[in-house]
Amino acid sequence: MWIWGLCGLLCWGLPPRAVAQGDDIIYVDQRKAEASLAKAIEPASLGEYSKAVSKVSMVCQQFPDYAPAWLTLGELHLKLQEWASAVKALQASIRLHDRLSVKAYHGLAKAAMQMGDYSVVVEQTAQMPSFRLASEEQIRDIALWRKQAQWALHAMKNPDTLHAKPAPDALLGEESSYLPCLCNNGRQIVFTRRIKDGEDFYESNLKDSTWEQARLLDSPLNSDLDEGGCWLSPDGQMIWFTGCYRDGGMGSCDLYYSIRQQGRWQNAVWAGAVINSSGWDAQPTLSSDGLTLYFASTRQGGLGGSDLWVSFGKVDSTGWPTDTLGNLKSIPWWLWHEMEPDKLLWTDPIPLGPELNTPYNENSPYLHPNGRDLYFASAGREGMGNMDLYRARKITLDVSSKTSFKNSDFQRLADLGVSIVLWESPVNLGYPLNTHVDEMGLALEADGNSAWMSRPYQGRIALHRIGLTPFARPLLEPEVPILVQLPDTPLNQRQKNEWILKDIYFEVNATTPLPASKPNLAHVASWIKMNPELNIEIQGHTDNTGNYDKNLNLSLKRAEAVRQALIRQGCKASKLSAVGYGSTQPIATNTTPEGRTLNRRTQIKILR
């Protein structure tokens, strides 16, 4: 028990009746001091820590040169999360006897980090002596906090320019509100609110520029137990969420999903024994097609605390609906009315590895609809201390079943034909987005310029809306193999948000795409529907052969024909516009056949 740790302070190698302080010897009545301290900490064994603080403080006043009393007082303040008082007491302990215990330095660094007093962390740990009995965890913690404090001091001298403001009262209420998820272009929000009976989901919609009063969601999402941490599909028709202690679950908290039909959420579906474990499984986020699942878990196999895990899904599409021509309809799996839970199969989850996970807590992952940028919170990396927000960008390796990996998890996925995902080193989103308190639960709005998050505010955890700096924003580049980046030529200044549509064919002077264009148009339509928040301009371009006005008209009609083809495959008309540029924007010379071929093109541009 914790009280024995305190009692142990009384018998640590001090010379009889003396306490060492630098080169001097300060004499105290050690037997009397020990007896007084042992008596003073008795209330702590009953959980009466405040009473113990009062009594130990009296011992410190009676024996001001007795280092173990100050160390004990510091640990009691730590227990009560009285950080400033803990720092003061532990500094006194170190000043009197700097080699008494590593606990003095560990507790001091912890308390100072909790207050954002980074200079104290750097200064005190710089002169910490070695301790033979220090645990690996204590040494690791002190090294991390020192590294974070140094990073934070530099970041505070070079702050980013951003605006963070608490959510309006219609969303906040009087209780803690956190872990937002968004859909419908950021005009609908579902978040977790802690009330006296536990955690539940609340929902609100943005009408014009005002958020409606948040309302409690009905069952089956909410129950008499705890719910918290969710992901909404971009169309708002599917939700994945965390449900705790429900009948049939495997651990403290498990993952569930529900489909919205006719405006109401249907019965929650347990995500199954492959995904869930006897540990804590929570805070899901999915790719836009709903077939790649990231979540936080304390299950075995991680690096410590809660880690980030991933599982890959596949739908048994037997009986998938077709159109009047017999072609498979391009719809998300959750809108297939004959979809049954046992038709959704998942691979065994694997941890994202030391590239993202640490021995400390990682949680609240959020995957941007581009499928590349993963945002998450971590307590174990360079930053401001406690939980900070980070972004990692993925690198995908296409593999076959013949690909060989030393990593057993990678090999298992390769054998299944699943692409291997690697990650660039996570980057801290910077100060003052991150501070010395806990920031977590980042969810981006559609344009990637703004986001919602949770952080302490006026004695509770509160939703905040923030403007993201360019550094923190996601890529809006599509991950579609048939989109080709414009070549970088003397005639063209490459635009990162423009791509040529590969293999879209027209006959000479015709405005209807040839049948050979159909597969690639289907790919483009599928990508657009997975990113419904994007506004896209479809552009038609020609070479300079022939009449200028006719070329302009021809390019517009071709762009509109592609737009209509995408609309017929389920893309929203309001998100697509068609523009004809004729021969006004060449990307190559028109003096050669090869150059004219490059200039005759259809391309898309993502509008901010």
Q: Which of 104, 130, 157 is the last residue of a domain?
A: 157
Query: Which pLDDT value is given to residue 400?
Result: 52
What's the CATH number where 572 sits? Answer: 3.30.1330.60
Query: Can you name the residues that pair with 183 across neighbouring β-strands?
Result: 188
Same domain, 31 and 121: yes
Q: Is residue 48 part of a domain?
A: yes
Q: Is residue 330 part of a domain?
A: no
Same domain, 287 and 421: yes
Same domain, 241 and 356: yes
Query: Which pLDDT value is given to residue 23?
Result: 46
Query: Which pLDDT value is given to residue 8?
Result: 42
Query: Which pLDDT value is given to residue 412?
Result: 64
Of 436, 373, 366, 428, the residue nearest 180 (C-alpha): 366
Q: Is residue 96 part of a domain?
A: yes
8 A C-beta contact, residue 467 and residue 450:
yes
| Peptide bond before residue 43 is cis, with ω within 30 degrees of 0 | no
Same domain, 464 and 490: no
8 A C-beta contact, residue 479 and residue 288:
no
Same domain, 127 and 168: no
CB-based contacts of 120, cutoff 8 Å, min separation 6: 87, 108, 112
Query: Which pLDDT value is given to residue 328?
Result: 77
Query: Which pLDDT value is given to residue 417?
Result: 61
Q: Is residue 114 part of a domain?
A: yes
CA distance 329 to 80: 60
Query: Which pLDDT value is given to residue 309?
Result: 97
Q: Is residue 50 part of a domain?
A: yes
Query: Which pLDDT value is given to residue 572?
Result: 87
CA distance 467 to 469: 7
Q: How many helices (H) and strands (E) does the chain have?
A: 13, 31
Q: Is residue 478 part of a domain?
A: no
Query: Which pLDDT value is given to residue 1?
Result: 31
- Neighbouring CB atoms inside 10 A of 508's CB total 6
Same domain, 451 and 349: yes
Same domain, 223 and 344: yes
Record the pTM.
Answer: 0.78
Domains in the chain, number = 3
Could you tell me the sign of the dihedral formed by the alpha carbons of 444, 186, 395, 377, in that order? Answer: positive
Range of the domain at 530: 483-607
Query: Which pLDDT value is given to residue 571?
Result: 87
pLDDT digits (tens, 9 = 90+) for 75-99: 999 999 999 999 999 999 999 999 9
Query: Which pLDDT value is given to residue 301?
Result: 93
Helix (H, G, I), strand (E, B) or coil at 581: coil
- Rounded (10°) CA dihedral 439, 121, 307, 389: 30
Of 364, 383, 365, the residue nearest 374 (C-alpha): 365
What's the CATH number where 78 sits? Answer: 1.25.40.10
Going along 276-387, which residue ranges are E strands? Answer: 281-286, 292-297, 307-315, 344-346, 350-351, 362-367, 373-378
pLDDT < 50 stretches in the chain? 1-26, 401
Same domain, 573 and 458: no
Q: Which of 157, 190, 211 is the last residue of a domain?
A: 157
Query: Which pLDDT value is given to residue 94?
Result: 96
Q: Is residue 493 part of a domain?
A: yes
Query: Which pLDDT value is given to residue 11?
Result: 41
Name residue 579's amino acid: V
Could you tell me the sign of the dihedral formed by the alpha carbons of 406, 409, 411, 414, in that order? Answer: negative
Same domain, 122 and 15: yes
Q: What are phi and psi of 605, to 5 degrees?
A: -135, 130
Query: Which pLDDT value is given to residue 408?
Result: 67
Same domain, 461 and 544: no
Same domain, 396 and 527: no
Same domain, 211 and 263: yes
Beta strands 535-541; 576-580: pairing state: parallel
Of 174, 152, 177, 112, the residue nearest 440 (C-alpha): 177
Q: Which of 441, 472, 503 is the last residue of a domain?
A: 472
What's the CATH number where 385 sits? Answer: 2.120.10.30
Query: Which pLDDT value is given to residue 5?
Result: 42
DSSP 109-135: HHHHHHHT-HHHHHHHHHTPPP-TT--
